[in-house]
Amino acid sequence: MTKTDDIIESLVGDLKPVPRHALRRRFALGLLPALGLSLLLMLAILGLRVDMPDVLMLPVFWIKSAYNALIAVTALFAVVRLSRPDGSEGRFFGLLATIFAAMTAVAAIQLMMAPVGSFRVLILGSSALHCPLLIVSFALPVYAGVVWALRRAAPSNLSLTGFVAGIAAGAAGAWVYSWFCTENGMPFVLIWYSLGILLTGALGALTGPRLLRW
């Protein structure tokens, strides 16, 4: 029994208390530079819209921005919860469904108020084929930042944590892309932005078990 106590003592003797907000600070250190890099990539590859002063006056622009920002923040809080061994996603999926339902209602209202001839533009726009891929591209730096933060944590469900981290990164990448995107159709945002976010979530679910192993 004494020998066992000695072994335990040797294992914990050098342990030091972790600062209370250490994990949140690590997430901030991982996310803020990554988000800045994503913004720089967007500016270098696509550039900011030349009509941005006028765009900022459009409600549809802010709805598009808010949709992505709300998903990103909701998913990030869930990632922080999942980063602990006993953590869970909490109400993440319920909140995500609520945000998606609200955006679905906005898209439906826009369609009901628009002429039938404009449906194709509102749904497909002119960039449906490359929009989701650009979102994934701008999400990758953010996903790398989240993974870097999680490497010092101890999530137990690696696939789920990777998926939620991917959703957070995908929504952040979509938010970045929204500052360039010229599409004003809420159905477009609902379908193609959501697809880009979901693709990044799938990437997180696939890579999480390997990247987050501890």
SS3 212: coil
Model confidence, pTM: 0.87
**Tokens coding 212:** 């987050």
Q: Using one digit for the tens of pLDDT, what is the confidence trace for 53-83?
A: 899 999 999 999 999 999 999 999 999 999 8
SS3 211: helix
The residue whose two tokens read 């002429």 is 115
Quick one: which of 144, 138, 21 has its CA closest to 80? 21
Query: What is the C-alpha R_g of the chain?
Result: 20
pLDDT at 140: 96
* 138-140-143 Cα angle (round to 5): 125
Nearest-angstrom CA–CA distance, 103 and 101: 5
Share of the chain above pLDDT 70, in %: 90
Position 15 confidence tier, pLDDT thresholds 50, 70, 90: very low
pLDDT at 57: 93
Nearest-angstrom CA–CA distance, 92 and 75: 7
Domain ranges of the chain: 32-45+58-212
pLDDT reading at 21 higher than 90 = no
Evaluate whether 72 touches 200 at the Cβ level (below 8 Å).
no
Average pLDDT score over the chain: 89
Share of the chain above pLDDT 90, in %: 71
Q: Which of 10-19, 20-29, 44-53, 171-180 has the highest mean pLDDT?
A: 171-180
What are the DSSP calls for 62-116, one per residue?
HHHHHHHHHHHHHHHHHHHHHTSTT---TTHHHHHHHHHHHHHHHHHHHHHHS-G
pLDDT at 13: 52
The residue whose two tokens read 């949140």 is 24
Identity of the residue numbered 201: G
pLDDT reading at 109 higher than 90 = yes
Q: Using one digit for the tens of pLDDT, what is the confidence trace for 126-185?
A: 999 899 999 999 999 999 999 999 988 889 899 999 999 999 999 999 999 999 999 999
The larger pLDDT score, comparing residue 7 to residue 114, is at 114
pLDDT at 23: 74
Q: What is the DSSP secondary structure assignment for residue 156, as one 8-state letter?
A: S
Sorted by sequence, the CB contacts under 8 Å of residue 77 that are 6+ apart come out as 90, 92
